[in-house]
Homo-oligomer: A and B are copies of this chain.
Amino acid sequence: MEKKIVNDINDLANILKLSITTVSRVLNGKAEIYRISPDTKQRVLDAAREYNYIPNQLARGLKLNKTATFGLVIPDISNPFFADIAKSIEYEARSNGYSLMLCDSRENIALEKELINLLLSHKVEGIIVAPVGTQSEHLIQTYISGTPLVIVDRSFPEIDLPSICSDNYQGGFEAVNYLILMGHKKIVCIQGIPESFPNKERVHGFIDALRNNKIPFNQSMIVGKDFSLENGYKQTRMVFSLKDPPTAIFALSNLISLGVLQAIKEIGLMIPDDVSLISFDEQPYSAYLGTPMTTIDQKKSEMGQFAVEILIKQIREKDPGTKPLIMKLKTNLIIRNSVKNLKK
């Protein structure tokens, strides 16, 4: 006797000699509501298991207007910062019954727009996005069109979109303040994507910390163009080819600081004796580098967790009247050995 293959709720109903209605009800846990006999219920459940019936989410989604899916758009999943956030979001989404569609925008705004539309076409119930640049029209558009959306990491100034990010200004300020406390005055900041919001805020903190300590600022103290290792490398080489190089470098990402390390090494300098270094993004390896690195830690898992919470809240409340929630998470300065105390 060959075992029938069940692709369908229909096949299942046929085998059981029941209507698909009854089968559907049992499978959706509505047996009691419709007073389906315990016997029938058990038969359905047994058959579903026996024939390994897997409901078709497409059909279900089409009918119910629910896909139990979120979309996640991030600039680079191979950057451990975003991988950590993705981990947290995946976990939190799954815990709430949602699957995740992963989109890597490769720091490309055109692709980001495309990906948002793709997610929309897949009828995701919500989108979490770490935006690439300063453009936000497409995000606002999807938000007001009714798709719940949360921005993580890269918020926008004065925008009415729910968002959650680190207090990048605070992080930048504290980092540089610490450098100054250690006696540094000639500081160079190697930045990431200049237009991106976290970058701007960190730079803002950098400048304010200088100002606060009466240290003159000029534009040559800020170099760099993106968050990559290559950028960190090139800028460091460039900076040290100039006369009067800095005593300290402030790197605005984990990848940038790796590039700095490479350049420093090639040039033949030592950290912190010849140059000091402080970097955004704590990583598992930060403590085990040639010189254990002083870093600004961000609350990555909280970020992911809150992002999903805010999204789910939007879905539940369906209340576009209320002011969108904007959260800022405190950063944390982790002091190790990569900054020299010039005052000693």
Interface of A with B (CB < 8 Å)?
Answer: 54-59, 61-62, 67, 69, 72, 76-78, 80, 83-84, 86-87, 90-91, 94, 99-104, 106, 117-118, 120-123, 229, 255, 258, 261-262, 265, 283-285, 287-291
Residues of B within 8 A of A59 (CB): 62
Q: Is the CB of B80 within 8 A of A121?
A: no
| A34, B108: Cα distance in complex, Å | 37
**How many copies of this chain does the complex contain?**
2
Partner of A102, one of B76, B86, B122, B283: B86
Partner of A284, one of B91, B255, B287: B255
Given contacts A58-B123, A290-B290, contact A102 B90 (CB under 8 A): yes
When C-beta atoms are compared, the residue in chain B nearest to A84 turns out to be B78
Chain B proximity of A113: nearest CB distance (Å): 12
Of A56, A58, A101, most B-chain CB atoms within 10 Å: A58
When C-beta atoms are compared, the residue in chain B nearest to A59 turns out to be B62
Residues of B within 8 A of A99 (CB): 101, 103, 118, 122
Chain B proximity of A55: nearest CB distance (Å): 6
Q: Is the CB of A288 within 8 A of B287?
A: no
When C-beta atoms are compared, the residue in chain B nearest to A86 turns out to be B77
When C-beta atoms are compared, the residue in chain B nearest to A65 turns out to be B58
Q: Is the CB of A91 within 8 A of B62?
A: no
Residues of B within 8 A of A72 (CB): 102
Q: Is the CB of B62 within 8 A of A58?
A: yes
| A335, B78: Cα distance in complex, Å | 24
Chain B proximity of A247: nearest CB distance (Å): 20
Task: Return 11 A-B CB contacts under 8 Å, by A number.
Answer: A56-B121, A58-B58, A76-B87, A77-B86, A78-B80, A78-B83, A87-B104, A90-B104, A91-B106, A255-B284, A258-B284
| A78, B79: Cα distance in complex, Å | 10
Chain B proximity of A231: nearest CB distance (Å): 13
Q: Is the CB of A102 within 8 A of B100?
A: yes
Chain B proximity of A128: nearest CB distance (Å): 12
| A72, B77: Cα distance in complex, Å | 14
Q: Is the CB of A87 within 8 A of B78?
A: yes
| A291, B288: Cα distance in complex, Å | 9
Residues of B within 8 A of A291 (CB): 290
Residues of B within 8 A of A117 (CB): 54
Which 9 A-B residue pairings sit nearest by Cβ, starting from the closest?
A: A78-B87, A102-B102, A83-B83, A261-B288, A58-B62, A57-B121, A285-B285, A58-B61, A90-B104
Chain B proximity of A73: nearest CB distance (Å): 11
Chain B proximity of A33: nearest CB distance (Å): 23
Residues of B within 8 A of A83 (CB): 77-78, 80, 83
Chain B proximity of A107: nearest CB distance (Å): 13
Given contacts A59-B62, A101-B100, A102-B100, contact A262 B290 (CB under 8 A): no
When C-beta atoms are compared, the residue in chain B nearest to A55 turns out to be B121
| A91, B118: Cα distance in complex, Å | 15
Given contacts A62-B58, A288-B261, A289-B288, contact A102 B104 (CB under 8 A): no
Chain B proximity of A58: nearest CB distance (Å): 5
Residues of B within 8 A of A102 (CB): 72, 86, 90, 100-102
